[in-house]
């Protein structure tokens, strides 16, 4: 891999080229600012996607926080999928417009973990992610959304948007087993130690709820069943939103992203967002309801 500075821009593309790239889903990871360890997360995301032999991946690294963002503008047209691993300074208006146009025209989007913390005041972005947290979100940002008595509840009560308890292993439960992303996967499975986002707020226009998890008060959670993986429709675009995947200190100590369940769903959700279908078989190492399964090399 090599870094290529773009002559007219103050940011970097990290490119990985292959003679087979034309047969793969061309993917862009947007990163470079985050309240999480983006130096680890974007590399892990790239490895997971590329090692599947389905995706060809480039990383777009923004200027550092507080730097001039005026030239952080790109052409999205070469890509079928954009993976959001960004929380930070506002994008220029042209970048925003191009991104929205990409999604409206059918581009696929993966909202990864803390990317739902970004752009509190950007209404269209909040429609794309459906639920967000932190960065001054509150009841003005939209209702809390959670699962109760077999349905999604939109709760307009006052309160903060976004929290999580202690990191721990937890069980995810499927809510639409027929959706291509999770078809054939277990009804319940155990995720490795991770943050469990709760009290998320926003427009809440979830298209298909895939998995929820109980945020237990014993781990300082909300005491509610929280939506953690779901799809959203925006224009002709397909969005896969996963709140899993808190990055560790390095690629070796990165247990939430090493979970075989996280990686499988990232791959299946990414393929669906880009193409509308999932061609991948259910992997043999997918976690069970009682046992965590890890892929420390980021590949089955």
Checking DSSP bridges between strand 197-198 and strand 163-164, what pairing results, if any? antiparallel
Looking at residue 82, what DSSP letter applies? E
97 three-state secondary structure: helix
Task: Express each pLDDT in 214-223 by its tens digit.
Answer: 999 999 999 9
Over range 189-196, report the average pLDDT: 98
Measured over the CA atoms of residue 88, residue 94, residue 97 and residue 100, the dihedral's sign is negative
Over range 75-102, report the average pLDDT: 98
81 three-state secondary structure: strand
Q: What are phi and psi of 273, to 5 degrees?
A: -60, -35
Q: What one-character-per-residue DSSP string does 154-221 give?
A: EE-----S-EE---EEEEEEES-TTSTTTTTS-SEEEEEEE--EES-BS----SEEEEEEEE-GGGT-
Over range 148-158, report the average pLDDT: 97
The per-residue b/e assignment along 261-288, b for 16 or more CB within 10 angstroms, e otherwise, is bbbbbbbbbbbbbbbeebebeebeebbe
Residues 218 and 118: their CA atoms lie apart, in Å, by 28
Looking at residue 117, what DSSP letter applies? G
Residue 9 predicted with pLDDT over 90:
no
| pLDDT interval class at 22 (50, 70, 90) | confident
Residue 173 predicted with pLDDT over 70:
yes
Determine the pLDDT at residue 18.
44
Over range 180-209, report the average pLDDT: 98
Task: Express each pLDDT in 231-277 by its tens digit.
Answer: 999 999 999 999 999 999 999 999 999 999 999 999 999 999 999 99
Q: 146 has which bridge partners?
A: 153
Determine the pLDDT at residue 19.
44
Specify the residue for token string 């590329």. Answer: 50
pTM: 0.94
Measured over the CA atoms of residue 176, residue 180, residue 186 and residue 188, the dihedral's sign is negative
């Amino acid at each position: 891999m090599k870094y290529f500075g773009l002559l007219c821009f103050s940011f970097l593309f990290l490119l990985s080229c292959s003679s087979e790239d034309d047969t793969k889903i061309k993917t862009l990871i947007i990163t470079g600012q985050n309240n999480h360890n983006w130096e680890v997360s974007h590399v892990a995301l790239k490895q997971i996607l590329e090692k599947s032999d389905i995706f060809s991946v480039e990383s777009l690294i923004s200027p550092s926080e507080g730097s001039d963002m005026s030239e952080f503008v790109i052409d999205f047209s070469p890509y079928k999928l954009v993976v959001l691993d960004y929380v930070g300074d506002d994008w220029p208006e042209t970048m925003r417009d191009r991104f929205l146009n990409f999604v409206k025209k059918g581009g696929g989007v993966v909202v990864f973990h803390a990317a739902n913390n970004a752009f509190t005041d950007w209404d269209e972005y909040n429609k794309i992610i459906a639920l967000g947290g932190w960065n001054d979100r509150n009841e003005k940002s939209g209702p809390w959304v959670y699962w109760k008595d077999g349905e999604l509840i939109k709760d307009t009560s006052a309160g903060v948007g976004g929290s999580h308890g202690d990191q721990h292993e937890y069980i995810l439960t499927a809510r639409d087993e027929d959706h291509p992303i999770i078809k054939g996967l277990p009804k319940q499975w155990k995720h490795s130690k991770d943050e469990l986002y709760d009290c998320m707020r926003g427009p809440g226009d979830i298209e298909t709820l895939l998995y929820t998890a109980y945020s237990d008060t014993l781990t300082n959670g909300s005491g509610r069943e929280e939506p953690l993986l779901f799809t959203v429709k925006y224009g002709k675009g397909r969005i896969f939103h996963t709140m899993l995947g808190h990055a560790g200190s390095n690629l070796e100590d990165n247990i939430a992203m090493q979970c075989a369940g996280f990686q499988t769903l990232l791959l299946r959700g990414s393929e669906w967002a880009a193409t509308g279908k999932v061609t991948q078989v259910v992997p043999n190492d997918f976690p069970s309801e009682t046992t965590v399964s890890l892929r420390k090399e980021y590949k089955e």
